[in-house]
Amino acid sequence: MLEGKTGVVFGVANNHSLAWSITKALDSAGAGLAISCQGERFINKIQKLTAEHLKNKPLLLACDVQDEQQIARLYEQIDAAFGRLDFLVHSIAFASREDLEGTFLQTSRDGFRLAMEISVYSLLAVTRLAIPLMREGGSIITLTYLGSRRFMPHYNVMGVAKAALESAVRYLAGELGPQGIRVNALSAGPVNTLSARGIRDFSSFLHTAAAKAPLQRNISGEEVGDATLFLCSDLSRGITGEIIYVDAGFHITGT
Ligand code: NAD
């Protein structure tokens, strides 16, 4: 489905990352990939994973999205290697532990700013420099969670960041549509990842979702990977500005 297409995936930390499941799905569909992780310390581990599990050798890059120079350098490397981009996957979020452990009301000013910068502003920052490489249009996908619309105990500032992220998806989709660039979000159900484990009582997210979702189970990273493949491919060419739920239907339940 992605033979001859190239893209970049941001946010692989380890083999539990949603970005890793996404990478595997895109690779198996034949895409040429650049994988961006937060820093050099992740590269060794990810190099091993890619050698063992991917069909095609990806371009492995380190980029902290708080640093504009690192983002610019990343796109220089992608331009030199591929000369074009067809899709971008943004699978990045962060909030400090204290802001996820206390109450939302007690969120610090710095913690609020940090969560918004890394979890929301970074989508704009990485999209802006990708546009010149998306000469034939493109697809941009970010990852969100239902805590954007509902009160989820302990999700706190991340819920507010996800609400802003979903709004950013609509604004970017509106602005970039004329260039043939689509922007969508996947709203995933809970999956046990490094970031998820930072949320207090995360196991109750898993239990509640499995108990109440119409499909009566949790979702897997592979299901998020397959939905991302659909959004990167031409099969989704008529879809933009959308939040698509990959949550076994949990979001339609009343309680
Ligand atoms: P993860 O910890 O594997 O991924 C988060 C990534 O963000 C990591 O790779 C981390 O290095 C990166 N990151 C954080 N700060 C960064 C920075 N300054 N620069 C560059 N990268 C940075 O966890 P995940 O669960 O795979 O999260 C990926 C996305 O999926 C996030 O947006 C998360 O909110 C979203 N999501 C996760 C779940 C879940 O239950 N796991 C559910 C819905 C949505």
Residue 144 β-bridge partners: 187
245 catalytic residue (yes or no) = no
Enumerate residues lining ligand 1, CB below 6 A: 11-13, 17-19, 37-38, 64-66, 91-94, 118, 143-145, 188, 190-191, 193-196
Q: Are 5 and 32 in contact (CB under 8 A)?
A: yes
Instruction: Give the relative orientation of helices 18-28 and 221-232 as an angle to the nearest 10 degrees.
Output: 50
Q: How far apart, in Å, are the Cα atoms of 70 and each of 27, 67, 75, 76, 129?
A: 25, 5, 9, 10, 12
Task: Give the HSE-up count for residue 157: Cα atoms under 13 Å, Cβ half-sphere.
Answer: 28
Answer yes or no: pTM beyond 0.95.
yes
pLDDT in tens, 154-193: 999 999 999 999 999 999 999 999 999 999 999 999 999 9
Six-digit token string for 89 = 């996957």
Chain centroid to Cα 100, Å, comes to 20
Please state the domain extents for the chain: 6-248
State the pLDDT confidence band at 254, using cuts at 50, 70 and 90.
confident
- What mean pLDDT is predicted for residues 192-196? 95
The topology under which CATH files domain 6-248 is Rossmann fold (3.40.50)
Q: Is the pLDDT of residue 237 over 90?
A: yes
Determine what percent of the chain is predicted with pLDDT higher than 90: 97
Residue 140 β-bridge partners: 88, 183
DSSP symbols for 120-176: IIHHHHHHHHHGGG-BTBEEEEEEE-GGGTS--TTTHHHHHHHHHHHHHHHHHHHHH
d(CA 51, CA 109): 42
Rg (CA), the chain: 17
Q: Which atom of ligand 1 is nearest to the CA of 63?
A: 20
pLDDT in tens, 9-52: 999 999 999 999 999 999 999 999 999 999 999 998 899 999 99
**Across all residues in the chain, what is the average pLDDT?**
97
Tell me, what's the pLDDT at 34? 98
Task: For ligand 1, pick from 154, 195, 201, 207 the residue to mutate: most ligand atoms within 8 Å of CB.
Answer: 195
- What mean pLDDT is predicted for residues 72-95? 98
**Which residue, among 252, 226, 247, has the nearest Cα to 23 in the 3D structure?**
226
Tell me, what's the pLDDT at 255? 63
